[in-house]
Structure 1
């Protein structure tokens, strides 16, 4: 359990071979004034749900990076699901996601 948490932290913090900082799998999707950039990465025989939510404000662009537990057999499936998760986060939290 501890090694799994350490691995997740390293990926989120930018360490390790795969991270949320990899190039997005697909173009950004506009949704309710936000941009969702899917960024799945290879993990344990599949692709991890991950992405970036961005929004432009007067003070500049803000972003929120997310990683979820779901894995998928292909990068395209993970990218599609990452967009779905991004929309869910936006619907639930809106601008609060950037706090």
Structure 2
């Protein structure tokens, strides 16, 4: 199916983007809205052999998929800097 999306202009999804930052993985999971894309990401980290996950969802929407992906990653990095492992409490 992803082959058909790429063939007919669907492009890569943000789900395929994984950014590593300070031992955390940031996986954008943008939510399509009528006015653009809602910023959303899954933040993961391996802790004692277990994958810990935090879901980040913002009210912000951005029209461009690429800009929304970049903004989501920047916001996730900010949250990681502020909360670190506290994200998983």
Q: Would the TM-score normalized by the shorter structure come out above 0.5?
A: yes
The aligned counterpart of 1:27 is: 17
| Correspondence list, 1:15-54, <5 A | 24-54=14-44
Are the equivalent residues in 2 in contact too, given 1:40–1:48 (CA < 8 A)? yes
> Who is 1:6 aligned against?
none
Match of 1:78 in 2: 68
TM-score, with length taken from structure 1: 0.72
Richer in strand (by share):
2
Q: TM-score, normalised by structure 2?
A: 0.79
Structure 1 stretches (4+) deviating beyond 3 angstroms? 23-26
**Unaligned 5+ runs, structure 2:** 1-12
CA RMSD in angstroms comes to: 1.4
The answer to whether residue 50 in structure 2 is matched with residue 63 in structure 1 is no
Structure 2 SS opposite 1:69: strand
Give the number of aligned pairs. 77
Tell me, which stretches of 5 or more residues in structure 1 are unaligned? 1-22
| Corresponding position of 1:12 | none
2:74 aligned with 1:91, yes or no? no
Q: CA deviation at 1:44?
A: 2.6
Q: Deviations over 1:7-59 (max 9, x none)?
A: xxxxxxxxxxxxxxxx6444210101101111111113210000010000114
Larger radius of gyration, structure 1 or 2? Answer: 2
What secondary structure sits across from 2:55 in the alignment?
strand
